[in-house]
Structure 1
């Protein structure tokens, strides 16, 4: 019974990855430009460091985010499974930012629950304690292709909190509803009372088999709003089981791209929408410097592992401000491929030359040489402080920054 009640709360315990307003958007590339494999190489020696130009103004909708809000959302970028399957280093950093955020805004009084800003549909982007949930709840949290929302309607004759799991546009959704009351203007008290699956392929709803009336206190809970932004875009809440939730009302084009990657559909269209609408600064080695994790590649099936490592079509890419570059791929547990060389910028817009001159295969304590030499042209289609979209040898790549300059 207890597990069933926890499962009913699962719809509020997950959500897709979102990003805040971008700080360093790139200049839109010229139409039709595409990098190709070619023999251009980078000049030897140390590359001069240039001071990165200041960020340009972003769209009015994105300016609704404060610096602290953007910092938090950027910290959550790349956290997959809503905190379930994330690497310990990234989860620790994300949780620390959440704690700092709550402490920073603890004295702000505009977040009271009776504010009209809390009304509406919220998409959950992160939870700090997914491992404490029931098996069903952990399943919802760990599937990035599920979009999970919380709808809050308190200023009506029938106040309600509705948790929604959207499986896909073609399958349907699960709605778990609770009657709600407000305590002391801040805490939402709720009791689950009904739930149903709404499948697109059925003409009727399928009741969710949870006997809420028989569960007593197990069907009850509360939700504190610990932060609500002045614009109503970001909310941080804490539940009765100690879980912290970070929710967002609207998604920008970067977030729509990450949602498409999670769902596995519409990625190319989302890339085109993002790269065609953003205006920004020109990319250089300062903006490229850092550790980047590949999220998506347009095609890798027909390529050899040596080419994949050389071109950076999988795994992690490390770029330093002096032009040193290293690609790291782990095709199997205990086995890694690396390819290293350098990168330099062309005089032509956001185009770069990549020269890979050595590679290696690492298996346990053994190392073997790998012929990963190659010369590539890379065009940066979009870059900010967290996301990078590039085109290399007719492959479109989407990376997320997991570490700053190294």
Structure 2
């Protein structure tokens, strides 16, 4: 972030690897028994949850929703974004910056509080801290802004997990004008849940001189106080939110591997309460990012049942596509017909291993009754083979 991008010191890379090793798996950790045990609790709070999330959705303008839509599916807060995704985000950012957000944002109470970092660009000057921590989806990254105190501060927080702890990098702050905050790093520390004391981060701030200084411009602050766009002194663009879209909450749960069952249940409940029409199976290429079924030892069985890879939906046909080895793909083509409300009968019976211009046919057939639980132009939730839950992200609309 704007503060982190000014630190050009190597972070503890071993720590990052250890934290990642201690993290739960990102995918395939759905436990039906856990879902069953929480359903009664979810049912009692569902009305208040739905009302809260409906108000949350209404707090974003149409132009702000376009930016959020552009962010859906981008991994690593921009680190793994495609050129098209980056263009979509930049275009949405420019639209908002050209509009009239909250005037003099640094003087507004709306800028105060904890902001979650959703996206950042990656200039060549990005610090090792930024490259190491900010691009890891398993970690949550926040920025705290408190300017109306006796000790004004802007802090960046990397939260490793609820059970591990966080790194907090703090800077003394001052307001230069209606948009710009000046800052200077002065302390940083790790707070680990398993230690009763903080571990200082070994950065000699006093010796850094101007390297510890910088500025942060707020180029857009929403009137609701839920969305902020900022640009740092090294050219980095940041998109931050106080409240997140329900889809963002779901994808965050999948990225961390925690609370996925609850997130899906809440999301489906919300979508049912606000949906006017039944979901429709949209064409395009859909990448599977989560499944309630653990993969088996047979990659062929996994691929044939849609437990890995992507699906291409076009002209009432469906194709499973899995990259097995460099230059070798598994392909399985079939047809689908609408069989009822939100349900489709899918028959996959044309399988082959493809290497370059050559194909080796495989004798396989899979019949699936697919129930579409949710579908928009970015995300799809469905029940498929053997009643397994799937979450797919749309990689393209299939127009090319």
Are 1:301 and 2:302 counterparts?
no
Question: 1:383 pairs with 364, 375, 379, which one?
Answer: 375
Are residues 1:246 and 2:239 paired? yes
Q: 1:291 to 1:281 in 2, by over 3 A?
A: farther
Note the C-alpha offset of 1:252.
4.1
How far the C-alpha of 1:101 sits from its partner, in A, is 3.7
Superposition TM-score, scaled by structure 2 size? 0.82
Cα offset for 1:276? 2.8
Give a deviation string over 1:168-209, Cα, whole Å, max 9, x none.
111100111111111122100000111111000001001111
- After TM superposition, the runs of 4+ consecutive aligned structure 1 residues lying more than 4 A away are 7-10
SS in 1 for 2:368: strand
2:150 corresponds to which of 157, 174, 193: 157
Q: Equivalent residue of 1:95, what SS?
A: helix
Contact 2:102 2:222 in 1 (8 A): no
Paired with 2:133 and 2:210, the residues of 1 have a C-alpha distance of: 23
Q: Counterpart of 1:218?
A: 211
Rate the CA distance shift 1:3–1:376 in 2: closer, same or farther, 3 A: closer
Residue 72 of structure 2 contacts residue 247 of structure 2 at CA under 8 Å; is this kept in 1?
no
- Cross-structure match for 1:123: 116
Contact persistence 1:111–1:226 (CA under 8 A): no
Q: How many angstroms apart in 1 are the aligned matches of 2:379 and 2:245? A: 13
* Cα offset, 1:245, TM superposition: 0.3
* 1:5 and 2:7 correspond: yes
* Aligned equivalent of 2:59: 64
Q: Who is 2:202 aligned against?
A: 209
**Aligned partners of 2:8 and 2:128 also within 8 Å:** no
The DSSP-based 3-state class of the residue aligned with 1:98 is helix
Aligned to 1:232, the other structure's residue is in SS state: coil
1:60 aligned counterpart, secondary structure: helix
Alpha-carbon distance change, 90 to 312 in structure 1, aligned in 2, over 3 angstroms: farther
Contact 2:11–2:132 at 8 Å: present in 1 too? Answer: no
Q: Give the corresponding residue for 2:85.
A: 90
The C-alpha deviation readout for 1:300-345, integer Å capped at 9, x for no partner, is 421643443333222221223x412222111333221111122222
Calculate the TM-score normalised by the size of structure 1: 0.81
Higher helix proportion: 2
Gapped regions of structure 2 (runs ≥ 5):
13-35, 37-52
- The 2-side partners of 1:115 and 1:303 are apart by 56
1:242-391 matches, cutoff 5 A: 242-279=235-272, 280-283=275-278, 285=280, 287-302=281-296, 304-320=298-314, 322-347=315-340, 349-391=341-383
Question: Which segment is superposed worse, 269-278 or 161-170?
Answer: 269-278
- The 1:365–1:111 alpha-carbon spacing in structure 2 relative to 1, beyond 3 Å, is farther
Ranges in structure 1 where 5+ consecutive residues have no aligned partner: 11-31, 33-57
Residue aligning to 2:75: 80
Distance in 2 (alpha carbons) for counterparts of 1:8 and 1:122: 25
Task: Work out whether residues 9 and 176 of structure 1, in 8 Å CA contact, stay in contact via their aligned partners in 2.
Answer: no
| 2:295 and 2:302 in contact (8 A); partners too | no
Using the alignment, how far apart are the partners of 1:111 and 1:80 within structure 2?
32
Whole-angstrom CA distance in 1 between matches of 2:123 and 2:289: 22
**2 CA distance for matches of 1:313 and 1:283?**
25
Cα deviations by residue, 1:262-286 (Å, 9 ceiling, x for unpaired): 112221222122223332144454x
